[in-house]
Structure formats: structure tokens, C-alpha cells
Amino acid sequence: MIPERVEETPDLQGAHPRLSEAQIAALAALGHGRATHPGEILFRQGQRDCDFFVVLAGNVAVVDGYGTPEERVIGVHGRGRFLGELSLLTGEASFYTAMAADAGEVLAVPVDRLRELIAGDPAFGDLVLRAYLLRRSILIGLGAGLRIVGSRYSPDARRLREFAARNRLPFRWLDLEADPAAEALLRQVGVTPDETPIVIAHGRLLRNPSNAELAGAVGLPAPRTRHTGSDLVVVGAGPAGLSAGVYGASEGMRTVILDSTAAGGQAGTSSRIENYLGFPSGISGAELAERAVLQARKFGATFAVPARATAITRDDRNYTIGLGDGTSVTVGSVVIATGASYRRLDVPRLEFFEQMSVYYAASQAEALLWRGDPVAIVGGGNSAGQATVFLSGHAARVTLIVREPDLGVCMSRYLIDQVERLGNVQVLLRTEVRELLGDQALEAVAVDDRTGARGIVEARALFVFIGATACTGWLGGLVDLDDHGFVRTGETARSADADGGDNGWQRSVLEASQPGIFAVGDVRSGSAKRVAAAVGEGAMAIRLAFERARAT
């Protein structure tokens, strides 16, 4: 479909900048120009390793769902504009098709040459990275790219939505209960409602795929059978692991970063981090993670997602980390950055409601799903406060249920001020959740106040932020843990050697009870449980890993 009216898409906040003549000349030296004809496809949705295209004459249309009944033009770009989005740099398959709208000319630059230019020209690099990050957000907002179809009550549909959202994959969610387009799409691909959820990924029909299958279909970096020749493995790609990855790779270590779910960790689920240095108006955890992933890749780090570490063993000076898919990685230095995971409520029928109405993060996906409905949030810390502020902009009403007598016990002052200013938020202090009510789905939450009096809070979704437990089960006793399961480091770590002694080595401050294993961020015993602290520890662990490698 060639657009009838060719009108260039406005440049929103730097998402579609125009290159200067000098920048085009620099790119021309790295690629080649060629004429285009109307309707010519420059690259297709699902294609990997596309060239970087600059429009020299005429216009190029960006098309979502090319060749399907849902085909739509989502952008038009003329002279001096460049094509592509984040997937061009991350190696994912393209989320849209680019088609010449009229006769013109483009400059095609191989992506490796583009990377060289980005690394050598910081102003140009900044322009492209900023545009690509913004374009990914625009694609997510437009619901372009993948299609996920299923029932809002299906646990697998929810798993797929969460995996896509956590990995910042653009998708449109078609809800069988609410969206007539869902049934139309199912008829079109010959699938019955009881065979859902399905994902349409770049023209391929995936029936209830596993997260790894979906990752493979979109080109997320999969774990390889053997990561040979690596110096450093970082387990966990939250802020601590990403920081270790950036510093490790930038110092020349061959670095592999593994994550069981998505880069970003807990911070990736935060709608706005307002106290991270250098971002006075705050930054979403997802954007922070996206930037860090690009930065780590720029220095040569390799990612594997989803890749869950399930075991670790020691053989002389090396450690072998076993992964969930049966593969393994062997290295001399390991950074444990597996953080912590949410704590669950102790109430009857929790598992049942967890399948469709209970959440442990409040991202854009959940906010849109429960737009206009009453929701409840449990917890008195900053994560609960952030979720309250964020969800109040979408939900009809938010009830914040807090066990403490005062919000100030665990929440930062700036968040309390924001919560107190919101008109559609009710705060229940000294109150605890006792029961979840509803037959097919959540309808209300039964709560008790400090006198034991029962109250009913209407809620279609419940968001739980009541603390976290360390993700250390996979360590299997190789390193010393504290009474709560967090990794002990430095002087507090007791050696697990058979003789109970330390064999003469001096443990550094972030080093666990085995030489060459470091623990950083929330997983570390006594850590600050803050993004900045996690990032600082990740960076510091690299220096200590170098020192350990030199000493052995």
C-alpha cells in the first residue's frame, strides 16, 4: 500500500531529526546511494541485519503489519531523515517495514560501519541513540509490531504480555473479552478461542510459545551452547549487573550477561525513578535499562535473555554456571547480581487470583489493562508509592493499603507529598489484607484495621509491594549466605572450604566466600536496596575482579 497523501511525520522531541549535510557526507563515505521506485521495500518487518538508510530524495513510509488486513502507515520520512529504530543496533528483527512512497534516492550504510561512526562521533551517536530510544517508545505506544491474542484471564496470555513488556518489545494486546478485533484476527489465522493465547510475530503464528520461543522469534540474544573464552559472567541484568557489564566490557574483559527474564531487573518495573543521579525529572526504569544495554553492547558485552542460572560449581580456579536450558558457561570471575524478587501475600486463593488479577509490578501494560477500574495497592514503601502515583493517572480509584501507622515509616517524603495530592487515592493506614473476593476474577479485597474491624475495598486488580526475598537458590551452598538468604561478602563471609579455613587469601569487600565470585546490588547481604548503590557496586566489582585475577 503506497500512502495516498505523502505528508512527513513531525519530529517529536528528536525522534525524527534531519541529518546535516556534513553528517550525510560522512555517512556517504561509508555506504552507497541508490535510486528507489514507488512501492519498493527497503526492509521488511521481521528482517534482521538491515542496512542503515538515509533518505536523500523522495519519501519513505514506515508500515506496521505490511501485507495484512491491519496494514497501516505509521510514519513518513523525507530528505535528511534516517530510518530504523532500536532493533537495528540490538540485533532484534525489525518491527516494521520501510517502503519507498515515491521515486527517490536513499543512502544505504552497513550497520557495522554505522556502529563505527557512532563510536567515533559522539554528537552523531547521541542523535541516533536518542532517536532510536524515542522511536521504540513510540512503537510501544502505538501498539505496533507483535500481536498477542488471548483471554485476560489466561495465565499464559499474561506471561507473554509481561515478557514482551519487560523486554520492551512493541506489541498490541487483543483481549478476547473486550476487543472485537481479537476474534476477527483469530478467524483470519484459523485459530479457535480455546487454542489461545497466540502471538503473531513478524508474520509467524506462534501458539502459546514459551518465553524462549518468543525471544527466538523476535531475535533477542539466546544463550549459546558454550560461551567459550569469556573472562567474566554477570548473572542478572538489573542495575547492578548492567553496571558490572558496562564496566567489565569497557575495561576489555570478554563479558557475558545472563538474565532469566529481561534486562532492567526490579528497576525495569519502576514507572519513574526520581532519585537517580543526573535525571532531575526522573527516568523510567525501562529506559534506564535500555540505555545501559546499548552501552554494554557498545563495549562488546554479550547478552543472553532469557537464560536462568540454575547451578554453580567450582573446579580448581574456574566456575561453571548451569543454565535452565541445559547449557553452561565456564569462567574465572563471576558477578552475582540476581537481586531479589517480590514477597507474596499470605491469603487464601492467592494462586487463583495471581493468574489474572494480582500483580507485582505496575507498568504501562497493567495501567492500560485496568484503565477506568478501581484498583488496590498493598505496601508502604517507595515502590508502593510510585505505583500509586502512576496508576492514579489511569485507574478510576486507587486504594493504598498500608500496615504501618504512618506513610512516613517507609516512604520517602517526596512520594508522600505526591500521594497526598491525588484526588482519586484513598490511603488506609494500620490495615492488612485478609481475603481476596470474587468468583471468576477479583472484585474486592477484604481488609482488617487495627481494631480488627472488617472492611471491603472494591478492586479489579491488586498490586502487591511488600518487600522481597533474595534470588540465591541457584547458588546451592557454594557461597556463604546470611540468615535471610542474601550473599555475605567481605569480612562477614565465612569460607565454605572443607577445612573451614581461608587458605591464605584476603577477601575483598564485595567478594563472596569463594575467590573470584563477587556479589553486588540487592542480592548482597546488607546492601542499600537502591539503584545508585547497585550501579556503584557493579562498577566496583570489576576493579576487584581485576585485582583478584592478578593475584591468582
Ligand X SMILES: Cc1cc2nc3c(=O)[nH]c(=O)nc-3n(C[C@H](O)[C@H](O)[C@H](O)COP(=O)(O)OP(=O)(O)OC[C@H]3O[C@@H](n4cnc5c(N)ncnc54)[C@H](O)[C@@H]3O)c2cc1C
- Give min distance, CB of 240 to ligand X, in A: 3
E strand or H helix that includes residue 303: strand 302-304
Joined together, the cell numbers standing for residue 286 give 525501562
Binding string, residues 368-407; x marks residues near ligand X by CB under 6 A: --------------xx--x---------------------
| Residue from 174, 182, 531, 540 binding ligand X (CB under 6 A) | 531
Name the β-bridge partners of 397. 374
522 near ligand X, rule: CB under 6 A = yes
| Binding window for ligand X (CB under 6 A); candidates: 32-40, 180-188, 257-265, 510-518 | 257-265
Distance CA 211, CA 483 (A): 33
297 near ligand X, rule: CB under 6 A = no
Taking a C-beta distance cutoff of 8 angstroms, is the pair 157, 165 a contact? no
How many residues make up the chain in this entry? 552
Rg of the Cα atoms in the chain = 25
| Binding window for ligand X (CB under 6 A); candidates: 49-57, 73-81, 102-110, 253-261 | 253-261
211 near ligand X, rule: CB under 6 A = no
Distance CA 55, CA 42 (A): 11
E strand or H helix that includes residue 428: strand 425-428
Distances from the Cα of 385 to the Cα of 332, 416, 425, 468, angstroms = 41, 7, 11, 16
- Give min distance, CB of 360 to ligand X, in A: 8
| Binding window for ligand X (CB under 6 A); candidates: 107-115, 188-196, 231-239, 488-496 | 231-239
SS3 173: strand
309 near ligand X, rule: CB under 6 A = yes
SS3 46: coil
How many CB atoms are located within 10 Å of the residue 215 CB? 24
| Residue from 9, 137, 196, 266 binding ligand X (CB under 6 A) | 266
| Residue from 13, 20, 225, 275 binding ligand X (CB under 6 A) | 275
Q: Which residues in 322-361 contact ligand X (CB under 6 A)?
A: 337-340
SS3 44: coil
Distance CA 238, CA 65 (A): 32
Question: Quick one: 45 or 386, whose CB is closer to ligand X?
Answer: 386
265 near ligand X, rule: CB under 6 A = yes
529 near ligand X, rule: CB under 6 A = yes
Distance CA 336, CA 545 (A): 12
- Give min distance, CB of 333 to ligand X, in A: 17
| Binding window for ligand X (CB under 6 A); candidates: 4-12, 76-84, 102-110, 239-247 | 239-247
Q: Which residues in 461-480 contact ligand X (CB under 6 A)?
A: 471, 474
SS3 391: helix
302 near ligand X, rule: CB under 6 A = no
Q: Which residues bind ligand X (CB under 6 A)?
A: 235-241, 258-261, 265-267, 269-270, 273-275, 308-309, 337-340, 382-383, 386, 471, 474, 521-523, 529-532, 534
